[in-house]
């Protein structure tokens, strides 16, 4: 795993998409944090927080924020972060359901930009890292990026790197870095 320059003073948010706090995704995350010398960070556990899915009520087209109350703290953390790390297993060439719900709830920023004219909806730029684990030995990064990159354009995020630990089903790990 290559080292990327990340100042330790940066506000780092980890979005953890695995149901297993000590599984392969956690191992990859810990390796990454150690390699990058990141010691201060907060973690949003998608499975513990269980974000409600977006119901397309349209309220965020007219006003700031989401009317669903469960992610108010998350939105604050996300907006204030300098670095965002998505650490997740790949399920059926996509994200686990709780992480998918969270990503869909970032619709508030899309609507802020395109319906309320806020450009950018989040003023603070973010450096993003995506850490993936998957059962097969093939690299799913392109499939995942195709799903999440559009979100980055409205959340002031710039992808810095992706790391995939593939082959978790067999235990014969292959690492892919982009």
CATH number assigned to the domain covering 12-177: 3.40.50.360
- The pLDDT of residue 158 is 98
pTM over 0.85: yes
| CB proximity list for 22: less than 8 A, separation 6 or greater | none
User: Quick one: average pLDDT of 139-152?
Assistant: 97
**pLDDT tens digits for range 86-100:** 999 999 999 999 999
Selection from 78, 166, 85, 162 nearest residue 125 by Cα: 78
- The pLDDT of residue 4 is 62
- The pLDDT of residue 148 is 97
**pLDDT tens digits for range 17-71:** 999 999 999 999 999 999 999 989 999 999 999 999 999 999 999 999 999 999 9
**pLDDT tens digits for range 155-173:** 999 999 999 999 999 999 9
| CB proximity list for 115: less than 8 A, separation 6 or greater | 61, 62
Question: Distance (Å, rounded) from C-alpha 36 to C-alpha 157?
Answer: 19
| CB proximity list for 79: less than 8 A, separation 6 or greater | 122, 124
Identify whether the C-beta of residue 146 lies closer than 8 Å to the C-beta of residue 111.
Answer: no
- The pLDDT of residue 170 is 96
- The pLDDT of residue 173 is 96
- The pLDDT of residue 35 is 94
Query: How far is CA 31 from each of CA 27, 38, 57, 124, rounded to the nearest angstrom?
Result: 6, 10, 40, 27
**Domain locations in the chain as residue ranges:** 12-177
| CB proximity list for 28: less than 8 A, separation 6 or greater | 87, 131, 132, 133, 163, 165
């Amino acid at each position: 795993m290559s080292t990327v320059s990340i100042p330790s003073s940066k506000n780092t948010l980890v979005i953890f998409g695995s149901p297993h706090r000590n599984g392969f995704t956690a191992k990859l995350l810990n390796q990454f944090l150690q390699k990058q010398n990141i010691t201060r960070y907060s973690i949003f556990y998608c499975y513990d927080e269980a974000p409600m899915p977006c119901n397309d009520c349209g309220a965020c087209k007219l006003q700031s924020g989401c009317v669903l109350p469960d992610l108010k703290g998350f939105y604050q953390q996300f907006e204030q972060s300098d670095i965002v790390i998505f650490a997740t297993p790949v399920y059926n060439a996509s994200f686990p359901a709780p992480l998918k719900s969270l990503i869909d709830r970032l619709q508030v920023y899309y609507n802020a930009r395109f319906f309320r004219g806020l450009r950018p909806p989040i003023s603070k730029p973010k450096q993003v890292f995506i850490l993936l684990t998957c059962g097969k030995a093939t690299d799913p990064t392109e499939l995942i990026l195709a799903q999440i990159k559009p979100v980055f354009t409205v959340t002031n995020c710039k992808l810095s790197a992706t790391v995939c630990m593939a082959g978790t089903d067999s235990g014969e790990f292959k690492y892919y870095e982009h």
